[in-house]
Structure 1
């Protein structure tokens, strides 16, 4: 987990500083010990172990429970060794143990590794060793035990919250990626399969006979497929989550040329005199959205409708406008289409622009036609630093 690594590094610094403090304290009191060489031996062991743990805690595969168990055992043994190495009178007076605050480092390590409960257990074990070393429950060591318990449980609880937040974030990112992929597939299906099924249904009804039955079946499949691509739940375990493809191809394409392919007897295209270059995937998405807007014109505006496409290359954004002279859209019609699972505007147009950092604005007045305005700001991740 990424949240753990900074904590392990901070703990390594704490262990090193605590070791230095323990050594300085022992140097000032070594002459008063009953067995001073034994005390130096303990300091040597703690020094070697501290250096080893600074290496081990940088590697997740090494900071497992076996290493942490040895860590806690050394803290307990070094505390208990004080009772036999120090002068009994000093022990009875409550003098500092050999590891001093270093003994709390393994407790914090247990809290980081296993959470508040394991941290509390390690604090309880270390606290018991302090009581045994003193030979009684005194106010001073009881105070230290309570502080150690509070620190271990607090750090352990914070680590558990951070881990839970990271899992939630990873889940949300997976869900967003899966949803975006489903929307992309829905757009592709809308631009191909659904349009073919709608055409078969319409032509079958016009021809009649067996063709009408075939058209009816095509209409039923169209409804079922629209429901599937618009409402199907996302299975994160089974979903294949490829990248969106945006930015993978560094080549650029001229949007003017791509829009020019849409020109025809009933479609007029106006564009600047200079190339309007965009990264290839972005350009294709922008033109595909314009094509989807044209498809809506032919489907809803009637056989005699005309359309005009205007490409504007502004300093801060690129604008593609698709306007028709049809009857316009009745109020509430778009909301009804979304509720029915029709994805022409919400996915094939708005979804495409949203995926490349742009916006789509639809303006329609009954009896005066419809205009779809596609805006792509230049300051977007899709355009900055990608080709």
Structure 2
């Protein structure tokens, strides 16, 4: 049950009780009114309106803006009709208006429905009507107006806080339910699918031939599925084969909103596979969205170079380090390495993969890309992005 539902029930009871109170106050001083028939007519309308609209103050959905406008009109009309029904002497003496404290119920309906801002508007209208009825500010009038104003705004603020707490609680319950379901699925997958994939990988390696290729694919799917069920870091991704170049390109579908930071781990997680190992911190590695995407693209370019030049059987390792002043990503492979002068020769031939895809991206981010390669011992690429520069992007 909503935490504000008891307020609606209390408001319905308040309106009925204050209607009875207003009629009783009028009945005790009926003979003192200048035009009592005006008051009788108003109370007849007030009684019918209060009882007929009880279903409309049952909850926020039924309490519409049109009802609130009509309800505050009834309250303001009662205050101003006091000038017609009562004598000037009684008004000057500070006698209550026709609706008396029933008016507060109309203001409270605004507060519960729309929060403290709506309550402030309704209280201001009631205050203006009271000042017109009294002919000016008096001590009792100001006291009553401020009391209604403060009470309505306070209740409206409490309702807003309660609604925000309800939304937070609902979100927490959703996350808890999703986490439990993911843990249940992870257990089932671990006991069935992951074990089957691991067995296919082992048997394929033993049999060889086409079975070895099936085993390799099963191993890649095992790593990807294990990463998904264990951390949930892998966003929705697609894998496309470039037949001409023999490269595997993984494109991660991210939201187009560049306003907030991204977790670099989520962008690098799809690269993990049977021949690519990913080591990362346990906490999020946050970078501005453009910087995170450019750094991930540079890592992807480095892995593409491993596949093209080190062979399909080469292994690669990605190490992510979150330093206080910089984020460092190291990509290392066990390929044959790059012969001395080969990069300069490639640039001269117009092949600018390292120069543009890796070093160019890091230079635009204010970072550096260091490449160390020893023939026969593989290649290591260190990508470093300073946090101070990326914060200002």
Q: If the TM-score is normalised by the length of the shorter chain, which range does it land in?
A: 0.5 to 0.7
Residue 79 of structure 1: how far off its partner (Å): 0.3
Q: How many residue pairs end up in the alignment?
A: 235
In 2, the alpha carbon distance for the partners of 1:99 and 1:29 equals 14
Q: Secondary structure of the equivalent of 2:34?
A: coil
Report the alpha carbon displacement of residue 157 of structure 1 after superposing the two structures with TM.
0.8
Q: Tell me the alpha carbon deviations over residues 12-53 of structure 1, each in whole angstroms, 9 at most, x when there is no partner.
A: 111111112111111122211110111111111111111112
Aligned match of 2:46: 46
Partner-residue secondary structure (3-state), 2:95: coil
CA distance in 2, matches of 1:64, 1:88: 37
- If asked which structure has higher relative contact order (CA below 8 Å, sep 6+), I would say 1
Matched, 1:203 2:203: yes
User: Aligned partners of 1:121 and 1:63: how far apart in 2?
Assistant: 17
Which residue in 2 is equivalent to 1:219? 219
Mapped partners of 1:40, 1:210: distance in 2: 97
- Structure 1 gaps, min length 5: 236-387
Residues 18, 161 of structure 1: alpha-carbon distance in 2 compared, 3 angstrom cutoff: same
State whether residues 175 and 234 of structure 1, in contact with CA within 8 Å, keep that contact through their aligned partners in structure 2: no
| Structure 2: distance between partners of 1:107 and 1:169 | 29
Identify unmatched segments of 5+ residues in structure 2: 236-393
Contact conserved, 2:38 with 2:84, CA < 8 A, in 1?
no
Q: Which runs of 4+ in 1 moved over 6 A?
A: none
- Distance in 1 (alpha carbons) for counterparts of 2:102 and 2:26: 13
Q: 1:71 to 1:233 in 2, by over 3 A?
A: farther
- Does the Cα contact within 8 Å between 1:12 and 1:53 map onto a contact in 2? no
Partners in 1 of 2:47 and 2:3 — Cα distance?
27
- Structure 1: distance between partners of 2:52 and 2:59: 12
Displacement of 1:174 in angstroms is 1.5
1:15 aligns with 2:15: yes
The worse-fitting range, judged by mean Cα deviation, of 126-135 and 14-23 is 14-23
Aligned: 1:111 with 2:134: no
Structure 1 CA distance for aligned equivalents of residues 61 and 206 of structure 2: 70
- Where 1:100 maps in the other structure, the secondary structure is coil
Matched with 2:158 is: 158
Asked if the contact 1:78–1:99 (Cα under 8 Å) also holds between the matched residues in 2, the reply is: yes
Cα distance in 2, alignment partners of residues 217 and 108 from structure 1: 66
Native 8 Å contact 2:119 2:156 kept in 1: yes
TM-score by length of 2: 0.57
Instruction: State the partner residue of 1:138.
Output: 138
CA contact (8 A) 2:131 2:137 kept: yes
Q: Distance in 1 between matches of 2:110 and 2:234?
A: 38
Correspondence 1:68-83 to 2 at 5 A:
68-83=68-83
Contact 1:179 1:234 in 2 (8 A): no
Cα distance in structure 2, aligned partners of 1:61 and 1:120: 21
| Separation in structure 2 between the aligned mates of residue 210 and residue 123 of structure 1, nearest angstrom | 80
Note the C-alpha offset of 1:154: 0.9
Secondary structure, counterpart of 2:62 in structure 1: coil
- Taking the TM superposition and a 5 Å limit, the aligned residue runs for 1:21-100 are 21-58=21-58, 61-100=61-100
**What is the match of residue 316 of structure 2?**
none
